[in-house]
Amino acid sequence: MNPKSKAKVGLFGIGLDTYWPQFKGLLERLEGYQQQIASKMEDFGAEVVNVGLVDNPKVAREKAQILKTEDVDILFLYVSTYALSSTVLPVVQKLKCPTIILNIQPVAAIDYESFNKLGDRGKMTGEWLADCQACSVPELANVFNRSGIDYEFVTGYLDEQIVWDEIQDWIDATKVAKIMANNRLGVLGHYYGGMLDVYSDLTKQSAAFGTHIEILEMCELKKYRDLVSDDELKAKVKEFYTTFKVADDCEIEEINRAAKTSIALDKLVENHDLGSMAYYYEGETANEYENIVTSVIAGNTLLTGKNVPVAGEYEVKNAQAMKIMDAFGVGGSFSEFYAMDFNDDIVMLGHDGPAHFAIAEGNVQLVPLPVYHGKPGKGLSIQMTVKHGPVTLLSVVEGKDDVFLLVAEGDSVEGPVLQIGNTNSRYRFSKGARAFMNEWSKQGPSHHCAIGVGHIANKIDKLGNLLNLRVVRIC
């Protein structure tokens, strides 16, 4: 994993130093639980800065400085037993980063019968304190509320799967937030004229996600294309045949034309260290730039499947949504609403242009198109269906007052699709096609969205929390 995208997690436990001489073995037991949590976080791909237990104000300030120096992305506060809030507040105040309170017991419930048979009330108290996580939670919430500190809870017990799912979601969301903050988004060409919903405020996008936006020039892409060697061309054509099922009616001239453009796109991405891109161009008929832009689909599809998602029609917002989905590891294919099937209660989505070939159901076909609808020229296109099973739709929306995330979970389902040289899939939603369409559209997204495999709305909720962006969930 690229170190720039690895979540750096701060972990500290809290307790009370008065307890340690009173109850033999309690400190070591609690430290053991904390180490279990740290190890599990590392299994989730995080770099964990575990500073151990904070049990008095002096230690709090020392540990806070270590965490501050380490520049952690997110802070997990493990409530190991009761602790005074005065030993906790200095750490969280100094770090000023997202804070998650882990209210995690060792077991689901105390074994009351065995506990009460201990006979020694001193031992019994020590045993109870090892399960006394909930005691501190209201106190911490009270102090954080009064101090203006934001926080979230994970509540449960060590062997509970939902606890680890929640923690992993937070770590995954932190990683994605970091990827977005370090991402370089290239914009090439210009908007599709008159598509007002697609027009975006680049400053708002940088402010919301931390993304750097790089303005690209068509002449640079042409320069790279003019310099393509015969060996490079042969290697790229081979990659086409390895990645795609190339239709028999694809002309060799069109394959070579697309391959040369693909090589140029690779060099453009490499030269500007791009992590995503949005593009559109028209130009005068039969000029060199039109020749390039009508041959980009195969190359942009290859880039999309290699973690550099590319959105057509200069849809910057959807390039952001695609990058989020790709960073979560679930794909993120460029889509728009195609039709509704009221007989089967499904919505059809797809798009011409680049697709995320890594999430295809079956073959990804490279096919010729005699005309790009609504666009100039002709050339090769991608035809595929998103993998059947759970999916998540995501749109980055620029509303009247803010940028927010619009999300829905559904399923990609089997059935007939349009064989028109586009991506095309059938989607079913729990609330039905009619209600979904109305409620999704009412939020005012552009007509594009990114589709990824699996249900990850919970992760997107957490990403919104970390970025201080609203998340609107339709289903």
Assign 280 a pLDDT band (cuts: 50, 70, 90).
very high
- The alpha carbon torsion through 90, 92, 94, 98 (nearest 10 deg) reads 180
Mean per-residue pLDDT, 77-93: 96
Share above pLDDT 90 across residues of the chain, in percent, rounded to a whole number: 85
Question: Residues of 149-166 as b/e, b for ≥16 C-beta within 10 angstroms?
Answer: beeeebbbbeeeeebbeb
**Into how many domains does the chain fold?**
2
- Cα separation, 72 vs 87, in Å, equals 20
Q: Which alpha helices (DSSP H) does 44-154 contain, by range? A: 57-70, 89-95, 112-116, 121-129, 137-147
User: Which residues share a beta bridge with 213?
Assistant: 185
Nearest alpha carbon to residue 214 among 279, 266, 283, 297? 279
3-state helix, strand, coil in the chain (%, to 5): 45, 25, 30
Please check the confidence at residue 1 and state whether its pLDDT lies above 50: no
189: which residues sit within 8 A by CB, 6+ positions away?
218, 279, 280, 281, 293, 314
Type of residue found at 226 = D
| 228 and 296 within one domain | yes
The number of residues making up the chain comes to 475
For residues 205 and 159, membership in a common domain is answered with no
66, 51 contact by CB (below 8 A) = yes
Average pLDDT over residues 400-405: 95
Chain segment 136-186, per-residue pLDDT in tens: 999 999 999 999 999 999 999 999 999 999 999 999 999 999 999 999 999
- Is residue 209 located within the same domain as residue 350? yes
Q: How confident is the model at residue 4 (pLDDT cuts 50, 70, 90)?
A: low
Instruction: Looking at the structure, tell me whether residues 165 and 314 fall in a common domain.
Output: no
Whether the per-residue pLDDT at 3 is higher than 80: the answer is no
CATH code of the domain containing 150? 3.40.50.10940
Which helix (DSSP H) or strand (DSSP E) does residue 203 occupy?
helix 202-209
C-alpha pair distances (Å), 361 with each of 204, 356, 387, 390, 396: 35, 11, 4, 13, 25
Q: What is the DSSP string of 449-475?
A: EEEEES--HHHHHHHHHHHT-EEEE--
DSSP string, 217-274: -HHHHHHHHHT--HHHHHHHHHHHHHHSEE-TT--HHHHHHHHHHHHHHHHHHHHHT-
Report the amino acid identity of residue 308. Answer: V
Give the integer Cα–Cα distance in Å for 82 and 77. Answer: 13
Last residue of a domain, one of 156, 180, 204: 180
CB 404 within 8 A of CB 469: yes
The answer to whether residues 288 and 305 belong to one domain is yes
Give the Cα separation of 293 and 399 in Å (integer).
30
Q: Both ends of the chain: CA-CA distance in Å?
A: 32
Q: Which residue range(s) make up the domain with 340?
A: 183-473
Parallel, antiparallel or unpaired: strands 331-341 and 448-453 = antiparallel
Q: What is the pLDDT of residues 354-366, one digit of tens each?
A: 889 999 999 999 9
Residue 291 shares a structural domain with residue 319: yes
pLDDT, average across residues 402-425: 93
Which CATH number covers residue 337?
3.40.275.10
Q: What is the mean pLDDT of residues 189-211?
A: 95
Tokens 């559109």 map to which residue?
280
Instruction: Give the closest residue to 257 by CA, choosing from 291, 219, 304.
Output: 291
- Classify residue 240 by burial, with Cβ atoms within 10 Å: 0-12, 13-18, 19+: buried
**DSSP state at residue 77:** E
Residue 370 has pLDDT above 80, yes or no: no
Residue 356: burial class (beta carbons within 10 Å; 0-12, 13-18, 19+) = buried
End of a domain among 145, 180, 215? 180
Q: How far apart are CA 298 and CA 97, in angstroms?
A: 42
Domain co-membership, 98 together with 187: no
Phi (first) and psi of residue 298, to 5 degrees: -65, -45
Q: Could you tell me the pTM of the whole model?
A: 0.94
- Residue 350: which residues within 8 A CB-CB, separation 6 or more? 335, 336, 338, 417, 418, 422, 423, 424, 425
Residue 213 per-residue DSSP state? E
Q: What span, in angstroms and rounded, lies between the C-alpha atoms of 268 and 18?
A: 62
Q: How far apart are CA 340 and CA 353, in angstroms?
A: 21
CB 34 within 8 A of CB 52: yes
- Final residue in a domain of this structure, among 180, 210, 234: 180
Q: Are residues 273 and 413 in the same domain?
A: yes
Q: Is the pLDDT of residue 380 over 80?
A: yes
446 with 300, same domain: the answer is yes
From the list 344, 364, 348, the residue with the least C-alpha distance to 356 is 364
325: confidence class by pLDDT, cuts 50, 70, 90: very high
- Determine the 3-state secondary structure of 98 from DSSP: coil
Asked if residue 359 and residue 461 are part of one domain, the reply reads yes
What average pLDDT does this structure show over 296-309? 95
**Taking residues 437-454, what's their average pLDDT?**
96
Which pLDDT score is estimated for 247?
A: 93
Q: Are residues 293 and 218 in the same domain?
A: yes
Half-sphere exposure of 462 (CA within 13 A, CB side): 24
Q: Is the pLDDT of residue 120 over 90?
A: no
Residues 204 and 109 in one domain: no
Q: Alpha-carbon distance 226 to 11, whole Å? A: 53
